[in-house]
Amino acid sequence: MISSEMKKAESNLAKNVKAFVRKNDAPLLPAPPSEVGLKGWLYQNVFQSMSDFSSLSVSIKSILVAIFTVFVFYSFASQIYGFLDFAIISAVWVDPDELKRQVCWTVDQGGDLPSGWHGACWPYITAKVKFIMYGAYPVAELWRVNLTYFLGGTMLAWVLIEPLPFRKIVAFVLLVFFPMFATLMLTGGGGGFSTSSVGLYTLLGLLLITINRLGVKGRLPSVFADLAAISGIAGWALIFIAAFSVIIGFNSGLTNIDTRDWGGLLITLVVAVTAIVASLPLGILLALGRRSEMPIARSFSIIFIEFWRGVPLITVLFMASVMIPLFMPEGVNFDSLLRALIGVTLWQSAYMAEVIRGGLQAIDKGQYEAADAMGLTYWQSMRLVILPQALKHVLPGIVNTVISVFKDTSLVSIVGIFDLLGATQSTLADAAWSTPVQSPTGYLVVASIFFVFCFGMSRYSIYLERKLDRGH
Spatial separation of the C-alpha atoms in residues 397 and 27, rounded to whole Å: 44
Contact 375, 341 (CB under 8 A): no
The domain locations on the chain are 51-88, 136-196+247-468, 197-246
Q: pLDDT tens-digit profile of 303-322?
A: 999 999 988 888 888 887 77
Spatial separation of the C-alpha atoms in residues 440 and 85, rounded to whole Å: 13
Q: pLDDT tens-digit profile of 108-159?
A: 888 888 888 888 999 999 999 999 999 889 999 999 999 999 999 999 999 9
Contact 124, 442 (CB under 8 A): yes
Residue (of 137, 123, 134) closest to 430 by Cα position? 123
Backbone angles phi, psi at 270, to 5 degrees: -65, -50
Reading phi first (left if > 0) and then psi (alpha if -120 to 50, else beta), residue 351 is in alpha
Write down the pLDDT at residue 132.
Answer: 92
Class of CATH domain 136-196+247-468: mainly alpha
Write down the pLDDT at residue 268.
Answer: 92
Which of 179-183, 216-220, 254-258, 391-395 has the lowest average pLDDT?
Answer: 216-220
Q: pLDDT tens-digit profile of 184-210?
A: 888 887 666 667 777 877 888 888 878
Local structure of 189: helix, strand or coil:
strand
Write down the pLDDT at residue 378.
Answer: 78
- How many other β-carbons are positioned within 10 Å of the β-carbon of residue 168? 9
**Alpha helices (runs of H) in 409-437, residue ranges in sequence order:** 420-427
Instruction: Convert 75-90 to b/e letters by CB count within 10 Å (16 or more is b).
Output: eeeeeeeeeeebbeee
Model-wide pTM > 0.85: no
